[in-house]
């Protein structure tokens, strides 16, 4: 297993090389911002799809809804820039809520973010594969498999290290930005010269799914706005990952956020404007499009815009937009691959997730978080059949829960500082920061209510249930760790020595591992020492006794008879009997076992020692001591490993 792992992940990095993995802004942008940048590929489409429920009647609301989304994005980006400066150790909404709103609020934010990160991977990959399927329809029936393969590839790239993943994803991210901005510029030039682009769906009508009057129209507009807010997903990832930036960390992180916000606003506004001018018509059910020719396949909004701007679906510009859109949508999941492990490591360090999440792997990334995220996202892809439409209904609720808690926490943070003794210029700066975060908190809270109302019955209830479930799970994990800490706390006066130690050496055959275990047990000088064997075959046990006597071994051999051929039960009963007779004494059980070098060799040998250890570990007052004996294959394997480490060590030290 070691060779494939090194081939996929690479050689381990020394801990002191953590500084070498820090990111400049040019690499941080594709690493932490690919999700909000990629959302431009479908945010406009989601607005149009929701408005199409009212037919063509409500499409005039598109620019107004887009304008509100842009305003909200600017407010959220400005708010999170304050978080980058205030909390340079990262953690985003979780760290802010923990410091200012208390433990429960921080766990709500954490559960919201963890759920959202999993959904980010699932939605991004499913959307990317949908674009691939549009170009290569033969892959349609295999969309789930292709999506899971893509998630696995993303996991491998991220397991190789943050810097490596940034380098790998830089070209698709910057390529997507370049082709989309080029498309927008070309489209605007055509509009100004009187040659406005016209989408292929412009002449088609849309049948109303419901009468767009009164309250229904308001609800459809709210639902369109909620769907358009997908443009904001991933914004918090930069504040989570501040420790991964090069110094000055906070300044570089805030700068990256500003760059990302500017590019996202430009692309979202441009795509929306071109979609309106070219009269793109889409529907959640293509059957509701009227006047379409037989066999018409509805293309994505960005595909229709690219086709109308670049002169058709066989132009180089169109294929460039489609290729980079598919790439960025899949790679957008990388935002979650960086945010989820960092957040999980903080939760693991605080005892709300298993401690393993807080440990860095061979490549100085939080490998356990990456693996778990991949598995959960793959499960979602499989359950929802890689359907972007179904998955996106679960989306953004977690985002706005964390947004709201983070901004509210920042308001408390600035208020606390303002209550201190600060100079007037500093006070003015703190007041301005508090006002920005207060505005962000109000905006995101209102949007959260809108999202809950409009998406709850369309699948969002799953997230509403998942978040409290994760919250309770994290509370339960912390209770377990607290309980264990209390039980393990040293008592006054220390631990008393046991009056006596009863040593037992388990014997199956009289071979070298057994003799070594006997020698080691004798060297520990226990109060009493007894060899124990379980007889499942009378002839074999008689032969063992005979050989024991002939070798004149100075340790008595006790035979435990087992009429039902069970080895574990008689040994446990024997140990329990000693404990009942002498409850204050210690029983030390020595288990000789030999170690093999290959996994298939282990399958060829009896696992009775493993079963015995598993049962004995639960017996109070019993110590289990393994006495290993390495067979030839194990020694060869260890020798190769040592030679490999020695070969790589000089290069690693450099």
As a whole number, mean pLDDT of residues 166-178 equals 82
Region of 291 on the Ramachandran plot (φ > 0 left; ψ -120 to 50 alpha; else beta)? left
Strands (E), 248-378: 289-290
- Tens digits of per-residue pLDDT, 429-476? 888 888 888 988 888 888 888 888 877 777 778 888 889 999 999 999
The position carrying tokens 């440990």 is: 359
- Ordered DSSP codes for 582-599: -TTSEEEEEEEEEE-SSH
* pLDDT score, position 213: 67
Rounded to whole angstroms, the Cα distance separating 325 from 144 reads 19
CB 112 within 8 A of CB 398: yes
* pLDDT score, position 385: 85
pLDDT greater than 80 at residue 241: no
Three-state SS for 504? strand
Bigger pLDDT: 167 vs 261: 261
Torsion sign over Cα 313, 314, 320, 323 = positive
The residues with which 560 forms a beta bridge, in sequence order, are 534
Please give the C-alpha separations between residue 181 and each of 74, 409, 523, in angstroms, as whole numbers.
19, 36, 77
Per-residue DSSP letter, 353: S
* pLDDT score, position 159: 80
pLDDT greater than 90 at residue 278: yes
Q: What is the pTM of this model?
A: 0.73
Question: 501-653 — its CATH code?
Answer: 3.40.50
CB 42 within 8 A of CB 388: yes
Q: What backbone phi and psi angles, to 5 degrees, belong to 359?
A: -100, 135
Rounded to whole angstroms, the Cα distance separating 364 from 161 reads 7
pLDDT greater than 50 at residue 3: no
CB 589 within 8 A of CB 546: no
As a whole number, mean pLDDT of residues 211-215 equals 68
- Tens digits of per-residue pLDDT, 314-329? 889 998 998 898 888 8
- Tens digits of per-residue pLDDT, 30-78? 878 888 888 888 889 989 988 888 878 888 899 999 999 999 899 889 8
* pLDDT score, position 653: 37
pLDDT greater than 70 at residue 161: no
pLDDT greater than 50 at residue 244: yes
Report the candidate in 377, 371, 344, 365 with the shortest Cα–Cα distance to residue 10. Answer: 365
* pLDDT score, position 391: 78
Torsion sign over Cα 521, 522, 527, 529 = positive
* pLDDT score, position 604: 67
Q: 423: pLDDT confidence band, cut at 50, 70 and 90? A: low
* pLDDT score, position 12: 52
* pLDDT score, position 1: 46
Bigger pLDDT: 102 vs 491: 102
* pLDDT score, position 293: 84
Q: 634: pLDDT confidence band, cut at 50, 70 and 90? A: low
pLDDT greater than 70 at residue 111: yes
Bigger pLDDT: 445 vs 211: 445
The residues with which 557 forms a beta bridge, in sequence order, are 531
Report the candidate in 84, 116, 89, 92 with the shortest Cα–Cα distance to residue 406. Answer: 92
As a whole number, mean pLDDT of residues 624-653 equals 62
CATH 1.20.1740.10 occupies which residues in the chain?
2-290+298-481
Q: 165: pLDDT confidence band, cut at 50, 70 and 90? A: low
pLDDT greater than 60 at residue 20: no
Q: 256: pLDDT confidence band, cut at 50, 70 and 90? A: very high
* pLDDT score, position 66: 93
Q: 652: pLDDT confidence band, cut at 50, 70 and 90? A: very low
- Tens digits of per-residue pLDDT, 585-603? 899 999 988 777 776 666 6
572 token code pair? 């446990």
Rounded to whole angstroms, the Cα distance separating 282 from 207 reads 11
CB 181 within 8 A of CB 30: no
CATH superfamily of 2-290+298-481: Amino acid/polyamine transporter I (1.20.1740.10)
Torsion sign over Cα 599, 603, 605, 610 = positive
* Sheet architecture: strand order including 501-506: 557-561, 528-535, 501-506, 586-595, 622-630
pLDDT greater than 50 at residue 650: no
CATH 3.40.50 occupies which residues in the chain?
501-653
Range in 202-211, 257-266, 278-287, 389-398 the model is least confident about: 389-398
81 token code pair? 């820039």
Rounded to whole angstroms, the Cα distance separating 12 from 312 reads 49
* pLDDT score, position 455: 76
CB 347 within 8 A of CB 355: no
* pLDDT score, position 85: 86
Looking at the chain, the whole-number percentage of residues with pLDDT higher than 90 is: 28
* pLDDT score, position 478: 93
Supply the mean pLDDT for the chain. 83
* pLDDT score, position 361: 64
Per-residue DSSP letter, 611: H
* pLDDT score, position 477: 93
* pLDDT score, position 2: 47
The residues with which 581 forms a beta bridge, in sequence order, are none
The position carrying tokens 């006047």 is: 291
Range in 59-63, 86-90, 505-509, 598-602 the model is least confident about: 598-602
> What angle do helix axes 103-135 and 92-100 make, rounded to 10 degrees?
170
* pLDDT score, position 35: 80
């Amino acid at each position: 297993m070691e060779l494939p792992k090194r081939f996929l992940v690479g050689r381990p990095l020394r801990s002191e090389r953590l500084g070498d993995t820090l990111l400049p802004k040019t690499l941080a942008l594709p690493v932490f911002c690919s999700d909000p940048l990629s959302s431009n590929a479908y945010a406009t489409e989601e607005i149009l799809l929701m408005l199409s429920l009212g037919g063509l009647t409500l499409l005039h609301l598109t620019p107004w809804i887009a304008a509100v989304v842009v305003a909200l994005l600017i407010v959220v980006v400005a708010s999170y820039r304050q978080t980058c400066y205030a909390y340079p150790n990262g953690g985003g909404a979780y760290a802010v809520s923990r410091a200012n709103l208390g433990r429960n609020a921080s766990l709500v934010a954490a559960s919201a973010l963890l759920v959202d990160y999993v959904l980010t991977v699932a939605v991004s990959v499913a959307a990317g594969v949908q674009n691939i399927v549009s170009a290569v329809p033969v892959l349609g029936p295999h969309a789930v498999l292709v999506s899971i393969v893509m998630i696995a590839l993303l996991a491998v790239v991220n397991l190789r290290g943050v810097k490596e993943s940034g380098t790998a994803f830089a070209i698709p991210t910057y390529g997507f930005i370049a082709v989309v901005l080029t498309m927008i510029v070309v489209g605007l030039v055509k509009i100004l010269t009187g040659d406005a682009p016209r989408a292929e769906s412009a002449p088609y009508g849309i049948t109303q799914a419901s009468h767009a009057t009164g309250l229904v129209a308001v609800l459809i507009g709210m639902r369109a706005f909620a769907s358009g807010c997908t443009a904001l997903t991933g914004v918090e990832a930069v504040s989570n990952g501040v420790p991964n930036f090069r110094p000055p960390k906070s300044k570089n992180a805030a700068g990256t956020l500003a760059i990302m916000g500017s590019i996202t606003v430009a692309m979202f506004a441009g795509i929306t404007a071109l979609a309106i001018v070219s009269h793109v018509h889409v529907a959640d059910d293509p059957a509701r499009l009227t006047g379409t020719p037989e066999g018409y396949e509805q293309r994505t909004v960005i595909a229709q815009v690219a086709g109308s701007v670049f002169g058709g679906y066989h132009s180089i510009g169109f294929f460039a937009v489609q290729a980079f859109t598919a790439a960025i949508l899949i790679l957008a999941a990388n935002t979650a691959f960086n945010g989820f492990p960092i957040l999980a490591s903080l939760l693991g360090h605080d005892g709300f997730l298993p401690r393993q999440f807080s440990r860095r792997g061979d490549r100085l990334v939080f490998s356990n978080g990456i693996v778990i995220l991949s598995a959960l996202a793959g499960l979602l892809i499989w359950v929802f059949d890689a359907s972007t439409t179904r998955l996106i209904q679960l989306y953004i609720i977690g985002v706005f829960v964390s947004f709201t808690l983070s901004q509210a926490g920042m308001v408390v943070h600035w208020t606390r500082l303002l209550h201190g003794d600060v100079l007037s210029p500093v006070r003015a700066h703190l007041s301005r920061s508090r006002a920005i975060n207060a505005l962000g908190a109000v905006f995101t809270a209102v949007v959260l209510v809108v999202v809950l109302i409009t998406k709850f019955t369309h699948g969002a209830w799953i997230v509403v249930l998942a978040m409290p479930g994760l919250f309770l799970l994290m509370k339960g994990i912390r209770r377990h760790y607290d309980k264990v800490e209390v039980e393990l706390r040293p008592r006054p006066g220390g631990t008393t020595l046991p009056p006596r130690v009863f040593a037992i050496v388990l014997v199956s055959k009289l071979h070298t591992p057994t003799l070594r275990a006997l020698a080691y047990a004798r060297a520990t000088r226990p109060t009493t020492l007894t060899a124990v064997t379980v007889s499942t075959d009378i002839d074999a046990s008689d032969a063992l006794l005979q050989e024991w006597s002939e070798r004149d071994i100075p340790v008595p051999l006790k035979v435990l008879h087992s009429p039902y051929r069970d080895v574990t039960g008689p040994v446990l009963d024997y140990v329990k009997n000693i404990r009942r007779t002498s409850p204050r004494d210690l029983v030390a059980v020595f288990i000789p076992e030999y170690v093999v070098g290959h996994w298939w060799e282990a399958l060829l040998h009896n696992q009775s020692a493993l079963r015995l250890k598993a049962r004995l570990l639960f017996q109070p007052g019993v110590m289990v001591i393994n006495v290993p004996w390495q067979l030839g294959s194990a020694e060869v394997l260890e020798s190769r490993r040592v030679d490999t480490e020695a070969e790589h060590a000089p290069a690693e030290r450099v």
